[in-house]
Amino acid sequence: MSRAGSPVKLSEEKLARAALTYLAEPGDPALGALLGICEPAEVLAAIKADLLPGIGPGCGDSPASRVALERALGRWRVRLPELPDADGIAGACRDGIGLICPGDAEWPSALDQLGQARPYALWLRGNADLRFACLRSVSMVGSRAATGYGGHVAREIAADLAERGWAIVSGGAYGIDAAAHRGALAAEGVTIAVLACGVDYPYPAGHADLFTAIAAQGLVVSEWPPGRRPARTRFLVRNRAIAALACGTVIVEAGERSGALNTARHAANLGKPLMAVPGPVTSAQSAGCHWIIREWGATCVTRAADVIEMLSPLSVPDALAPGGCSEPAYSPGSGSPGPDPVPSRDDLDADSARVLDALPARGGAGTSTIAVEAGVDLDTVLRCLGRLAGYGFIERGDGGWRLRRPGRTSDGA
Amino acid sequence: MSRAGSPVKLSEEKLARAALTYLAEPGDPALGALLGICEPAEVLAAIKADLLPGIGPGCGDSPASRVALERALGRWRVRLPELPDADGIAGACRDGIGLICPGDAEWPSALDQLGQARPYALWLRGNADLRFACLRSVSMVGSRAATGYGGHVAREIAADLAERGWAIVSGGAYGIDAAAHRGALAAEGVTIAVLACGVDYPYPAGHADLFTAIAAQGLVVSEWPPGRRPARTRFLVRNRAIAALACGTVIVEAGERSGALNTARHAANLGKPLMAVPGPVTSAQSAGCHWIIREWGATCVTRAADVIEMLSPLSVPDALAPGGCSEPAYSPGSGSPGPDPVPSRDDLDADSARVLDALPARGGAGTSTIAVEAGVDLDTVLRCLGRLAGYGFIERGDGGWRLRRPGRTSDGA
């Protein structure tokens, strides 16, 4: 993947996956099932040739699946006239826009929890590393018609989370979504807007500047190709990606019929920690939050430290379960109010200590160099780097990861 | 017990228990233990004679208990000079003030859950039936320094509960306590103020009129004898009675160090449903509520229907456990918002149906008459009458319980 200024050559598989994002709606169960048994290029070729893909020896065949596939083929072929050619698709990958696919280094493995509903590919705008950001992330969503209270609380908690090294994942709507992004941006943190339209499509129009700011500091992400307009059903499909990308979901304000509760339901179904911020019981915009606290067992959170505690496997065993976040952030333990202490170098877990030792005494090093030096796999290195950065031991610069100095680690480096 | 205008003759046991409320602080573990093995009159006589009560054959004796008893005897005897004589104690029972003791028909059996910490006796001011009221009651407590929001919510929920036939139990403080009482009074419901001083002692002074209004429509209750002043430690001792008297406890607003959390802890320890009303996370007065929702598992409630659902054994098995409320109020089932339906006569449980059948077609009947007619025990009759009154089938008048008409039951009577 490249998000440089000029278009790049894409592999056959990536070209095919990109083409499929033009032809099929994300979450299409027929395409999800097909991609489990066929190569993307094979599926694309079959669609173009008006043949039933995935039917034949070894691929399973039944009258029912044949009828479903015929219908699916019909709806995918409808968009064939609008499908850009290979140059056109590659040309979309420029001006800061890129494409990542399952198997890419930057592909967030958290999305694989979605099974057949996994995105075919993701279009990105911005320069942050999506996989790395998602390892330590919180989705924060809520009502478009947020109150002043809700907007204030979303900004504050998002800013606090960003300051502690957590990325924010949200949609692109007015209200809580925008407040969460703005809080993270203000704290110079990474924030990720997952849109239900093309990453270059400013919807709502009033958020064009916000999306530009998010792309500069984080990422604008979409399952839909550049230029694609939003649609009502797309928001609901998009919500599963918001829930899946992050380690846990926080609902800040939501009416009883808010779409945010759909995201909350996805998070719960994925086995991820679900949290909600309470508010006045006299406010209809908090009714959905209170509802999921009482009826769905969402955790009542009031500040960033509560959220981090929920996502820390040291205090919350659930976070270690499949679908949970495996990022062992610091745990305040008792859960009592107070600032987070930072562990000393001696208190680090074995992997983090090895990764920290692997950083050069002077200058920086890339992730893979560090992995080789530390002798741990790439995913673990990414997690440990995030943790160490959160603790203030290291920072990311132009030359890669480097020790922070002077500071807490100055005598240990 | 009598709360008529003139003093009455009290039995020896009641006189002794009344005297003990003058001599010992409620919750005194030495006296609680003694009353488990000796008659109250026996204990009182020993205190007066400066003998160690409860020591001797069959009563257990050990150097440790002897030392503890000697100390206790010392502190009880300190107040002997101020102990009124029998006429004085009986004289306190007038002008609407009365005394109830374990074993009395009006004694709330819920207090027996406190074991040795059970009140020695209760002083009452007012005319409501304490046992009956407590069978269908909610304690609602919170911060003295309530916000406008907290006061508003306490009043609203208390009024709604009172309208649905639930009694309110609270303290006598400014803030949430007063708001809860005022809500119940406004709805012409029964409300019970449990004081940490004599029932005739207006503390805080600004609540003298409020206590008079409560006594007129409900009850002012205390473990301390008339005339006794409040003290800091007495509030904490009193809190266990507030928690024990009611079927469940709701905290409306509480700072992180609020005394209301002490009442909440008592409710939880007694195995009673514990509920809290959320509020803005920016309000310190809601921090304690959010804390117990998150850390103690208190249920997040936003309105009276949520509270009633928690206390209904039809939907909440906990309420059937010892210490829970055995009042099978209507359960909305799904818990979704909406008005409560009222069951038809055919949908009533067997006991309620028998009690309803036992009411005379014309005029009223007393509780014991109804019990005989229905062939069910007194406690069950009381519960069923409360339920039937809550459903609107019956009402209480000067001639006892009677069918309500015209109304839903007019064709069934």
Provide CB contacts within 8 A for B334, sequence distance 6+: none
Nearest to B300 among A294, A302, A306 (CB): A294
Distance from CA of B134 to the nearest CA of A (A): 26
Q: State yes or no: pLDDT of B69 exceeds 80.
A: yes
pLDDT of res. A366: 85
Banded pLDDT at A189 (limits 50, 70, 90): very high
pLDDT of res. B332: 32
Taking CA atoms, what residue in B is nearest to A284?
B302
| Total CB pairs under 8 A between chain A and B | 61
pLDDT in tens, A129-140: 999 999 999 999
Banded pLDDT at A406 (limits 50, 70, 90): very low
pLDDT of res. B140: 98
Average confidence (pLDDT) over B20-27: 95
Closest CA to A102 of A32, A3, A22: A32
pLDDT of res. A326: 39
Q: State yes or no: pLDDT of A3 exceeds 90.
A: no
- Cβ–Cβ below 8 Å for B278 and A281: yes
pLDDT of res. B66: 83
Cα gap A378→A371, rounded to integer Å: 6
Cα gap B132→B388, rounded to integer Å: 13
pLDDT of res. B325: 42
- Cβ–Cβ below 8 Å for B277 and A282: no
Structure-model confidence comparison of residues A265 and A57, the more confident one: A265
Place of tokens 């420029």: A94
Average confidence (pLDDT) over A389-402: 81
pLDDT of res. A15: 96
Query: Could you tell me the two tokens for B254?
Result: 């509480």
Q: Distances in Å between the alpha carbon of B292 and those of A273, B256, B272?
A: 19, 10, 14
Residue B280: list chain A partners with CB under 8 A. Answer: 149, 278-280
pLDDT of res. B373: 76
Nearest to A290 among B256, B278, B280 (CB): B278
pLDDT in tens, B254-287: 999 999 999 999 999 999 999 999 999 999 999 9
Cα gap B117→B30, rounded to integer Å: 10
Distance from CA of A269 to the nearest CA of B (A): 20
Range of lowest pLDDT (A230-239, B48-57, B128-137, B144-153): B48-57
Closest CA to A144 of A258, A25, A5, A16: A258
Q: What is the dihedral of CA A12, A13, A14, A16, to 10 degrees?
A: 80
Bridge partners of A193, per DSSP, are: A170, A220
Q: Where are the beta strands (DSSP E) in A294-385?
A: 299-300
DSSP A412: T
Structure-model confidence comparison of residues B362 and B153, the more confident one: B153
Percentage of the residues of chain B whose pLDDT score is greater than 90: 64
Give whichever of B1-10, B120-129, B339-348 has the largest mean pLDDT.
B120-129
Structure-model confidence comparison of residues A328 and B121, the more confident one: B121
Residue B279: list chain A partners with CB under 8 A. Answer: 278-281
Contact present, A200 and A229 (Cβ < 8 Å): no
Banded pLDDT at B3 (limits 50, 70, 90): low
Give whichever of A34-38, A219-223, B326-330 has the largest mean pLDDT.
A219-223
Mean predicted lDDT score pLDDT of chain A: 85
Average confidence (pLDDT) over B334-340: 37
pLDDT of res. B371: 79
Closest CA to B112 of B322, B387, B266: B322
pLDDT of res. A313: 57
Percentage of the residues of chain B whose pLDDT score is greater than 70: 85
Cα gap A83→A73, rounded to integer Å: 15
Give whichever of A334-343, B6-15, B60-69, B201-210 has the largest mean pLDDT.
B201-210
pLDDT of res. A336: 38
Q: State yes or no: pLDDT of A375 exceeds 80.
A: no
pLDDT of res. A54: 66
Average confidence (pLDDT) over A142-167: 97
The yes/no answer to whether this complex scores an ipTM above 0.95 is no
- Cβ–Cβ below 8 Å for B287 and A302: yes
3-state secondary structure B218-268: CEEEECCCCCCCCCHHHHHHHHHHHHHHCCEEEECCCCCCCCHHHHHHHHH
Query: Could you tell me the two tokens for A404?
Result: 């922070």
Structure-model confidence comparison of residues B397 and B248, the more confident one: B248
Range of lowest pLDDT (A154-163, B8-17, B207-216): B8-17
Report the phi/psi class of residue A400: left, alpha or beta, with left for phi > 0 and alpha for psi in -120 to 50. left
pLDDT in tens, A263-309: 999 999 999 999 999 999 999 999 999 999 999 999 999 999 999 99
Output phi, psi for A105, to 5 deg: -60, -30
What structural domains does chain A harbor? Answer: 12-91 (no CATH), 109-319 (3.40.50.450), 345-403 (1.10.10.10)
pLDDT of res. A7: 57
pLDDT of res. A156: 98
Average confidence (pLDDT) over A55-63: 56
Residues B27-57, buried b or exposed e (16+ Cβ, 10 A)? bbebbbbbbeebebbebbebbeeeebbbbee
pLDDT of res. B328: 33
pLDDT in tens, B191-239: 999 999 999 999 999 999 999 999 999 999 999 999 999 988 899 999 9
Distance from CA of B297 to the nearest CA of A (A): 10
Banded pLDDT at B379 (limits 50, 70, 90): confident
Cα gap B413→B402, rounded to integer Å: 10
pLDDT in tens, B36-58: 999 999 999 999 999 887 665 44
Mean predicted lDDT score pLDDT of chain B: 85
- Cβ–Cβ below 8 Å for A281 and B281: no
Residue A300: list chain B partners with CB under 8 A. Answer: 278, 290, 293-294, 300
Banded pLDDT at A343 (limits 50, 70, 90): low
